[in-house]
Amino acid sequence: MKFRQEVQELFKKTGWYEGRNIQSVFDGIPRFNEFPEFLKEFLYEYGDLEVETYKYSEEDVTAYLNLKAITKGIYKINNYLDNPRYYGNIITFPIADYHLDVTTLECDLEGNIYMSGDYPCLVSNDFREGVEKVIMEDYSNTLEWNPEKKIWVKEY
């Protein structure tokens, strides 16, 4: 899976290289086989890295997308796979920890990308675009979950 140049460069700075494959690391995780194929392929290539997100200026706070979260056992995979999320009543899969907002980057079977924390957000309906947006600190067109109406809205 390739990303736009700026994102690919940020991955390279953290240790990614062409042909990287750490499938054996993930395949040993219980129930990882239940993850969707596109997510497994992404994690085989980019998993277990800690990516510094894009800074628009030197004064910006340094943020990290921690793709080591699954291999370090931070997430309880059984809880994700056995219990639908309260937003949208869907099953999501953890991808990474985003420490700046104390959120989890997640996706569903269709490849929608979510940031789940105090206030869940739908970042993108496209997996690749969603990962790029988070790494580039681009939250344009992000939707928030309205728990009263049980729908995604521009602002809640």
Q: Which string of DSSP letters, residue by residue, matches 32-63?
A: GGGS-HHHHHHHHHHTT-EEEPP-SSTTSPP-
Residue with tokens 């239940």: 34
Paired strand residues for 98: 65, 103
Q: Ramachandran region of residue 111, left (φ > 0), alpha (ψ -120 to 50) or beta?
A: left
Q: What is the pLDDT of residues 18-54, one digit of tens each?
A: 999 999 999 999 999 999 999 999 999 999 999 999 8
At 152 the pLDDT is: 95
Q: Is a pLDDT exceeding 90 seen at residue 91? A: yes
Evaluate if pTM is beyond 0.85: yes
Residue with tokens 């998993």: 47
Helix (H, G, I), strand (E, B) or coil at 50: strand
Helix (H, G, I), strand (E, B) or coil at 48: coil
Q: Give the pLDDT band of residue 156 (cuts 50, 70, 90).
A: low
Q: Are 84 and 49 in contact, with CB atoms under 8 Å apart?
A: no
Higher local confidence (pLDDT), 125 or 63:
125
- What are the φ/ψ torsions at residue 78 (nearest 5 degrees)? -60, -40
At 95 the pLDDT is: 97
Provide mean pLDDT across the span 107-116: 97
Q: Give the pLDDT band of residue 101 (cuts 50, 70, 90).
A: confident
Q: Are 145 and 123 in contact, with CB atoms under 8 Å apart?
A: no
Query: For the chain, what is the mean pLDDT?
Result: 94
